[in-house]
Amino acid sequence: MSTSATATTTRLGDAVGELRRPRVESPWRRAARRFLRHRLATAGLIVSLLLILAALFAPALAPRDPLQISILDKFAAPMTKGFVLGADEVGRDLVSRLLYAGRISLLVGFAAMAVTIVVGTLIGLFAGFYGGRVDAVLMRFTDALLCFPTIFLLLVLAAFVGASLLSITLIIGLTSWMELARILRNQALTLRERDYVQAGRALGASNAWLIRRHMLPNTLGTIMVAATLNIANAVLAESYISYLGYGIQPPEASWGNMLNNAQSYFSTAPWIALFPGVLITLTVASFNFLGDGLRDALDPRARR
């Protein structure tokens, strides 16, 4: 009787003690813990890191020169003549081409994402922070761009400006910032009414300082999530325009343009069409899962 009472007291005491010293966990640590609990997001992180490493070390990993033509080996099936994933219509090694194509596709993905984030953040924060006429002009322009299907804009611009690594990157970046701008604008509209922003203003802080010190850090979570999801979208966009022939130009390989003529070789060499698509899907899916996990991890409303 008495022992169990003591036990209860101790347990109660422990509980009180725990209440008194709450575990101090920094927001970033908490985000990391929540993120890792998300199994799919972790898998997405691992797969995307592997893909990035494979692209970085493509020259070391590729068994052959991706551009080396060898007519005798044309349409070599996977696992024959030393071609692990087979050879294409002019006998180029598919593994090597996929590795080098991954460099291009991922490079475009990351660089276009950077453009999207810079433009989207600037337009969104300016519109929301300044409000009034600036907001009206910027947001009507954003709305108007959102009326066009992105692929239509991408194709027209790519056809007119001409395809190069730089132009494709800019085109993708400049046609996908609108949604981020809209979200950030709404956040900035509420943020600018907050007491600490008003206090800063009353103390004579400049607009630039307020944006840098308050707007940007408070929207960083949104921006990081958007950045991750945008890599996925940019990789997808590059594959679409390259598949349709207006993106990365052969002989340089990208996952999209490797599928360019794949349909004509269906009966002889279906593997040419299979592997690039699998890699695009894998890449896009892992960045999507990563972004989804980040969103859950950084969501301040969700507890635990």
Partner 1 sequence: MTNYLIRRVGQSALLLVLVTAIAFGLMRLAPGGPESVYALSPTMRAEDLARIRASFGLDQPLHIQYVKWATGMLTGDWGRSYRDSRPVRDVILDRVPATLELTITALAFAIVVGVTIGVLGALRPNSASDYLATIGAMVALSIPTFWFGLMVIFIFAEKLDWIPSGGRETLGAGFSLSDRLHHLVAPALVLGLVLVATWSRYTRATMLETIGQDYVRTARAKGVAERHVVWSHAFRNALGPLLTLAGIQLPFLFGGALVTESVFTWPGMGRLFVDSLGYRDYPVLMGVLVVTAILVIASNLLADFLVAFVDPRIRMR
Name the site residues for partner 1 (rule: CB under 8 A).
40, 140-141, 143-153, 155-157, 159-162, 232, 236, 239-240, 243-244, 246, 256, 259, 262-263, 266-267, 270, 273-274, 276-277, 280-281, 284-285, 288-289, 292
CB closer to partner 1, 3 vs 263? 263
Least gap, CB of 198 to partner 1 (angstroms) = 29
Least gap, CB of 302 to partner 1 (angstroms) = 13
Q: Cα(72)–Cα(258) distance, rounded to whole angstroms?
A: 20
For residues 177 and 119, the answer to whether their CB atoms sit within 8 Å is: yes
Burial category of 86 from C-beta neighbours within 10 Å (exposed 0-12, middle 13-18, buried 19 and up): buried
Structural tokens at position 129: 């922070």
Least gap, CB of 141 to partner 1 (angstroms) = 7
Report residue 81: phi and psi, to 5°.
50, 25
Least gap, CB of 275 to partner 1 (angstroms) = 10
CB closer to partner 1, 76 vs 232? 232
Angle between helices 165-174 and 220-243 (to 10 degrees): 130
CB closer to partner 1, 85 vs 232? 232
Least gap, CB of 216 to partner 1 (angstroms) = 28
Q: Cα(211)–Cα(277) distance, rounded to whole angstroms?
A: 42
Amino acid (one-letter) located at 163 = A
CB closer to partner 1, 88 vs 197? 88
Report residue 261: phi and psi, to 5°.
-110, 10
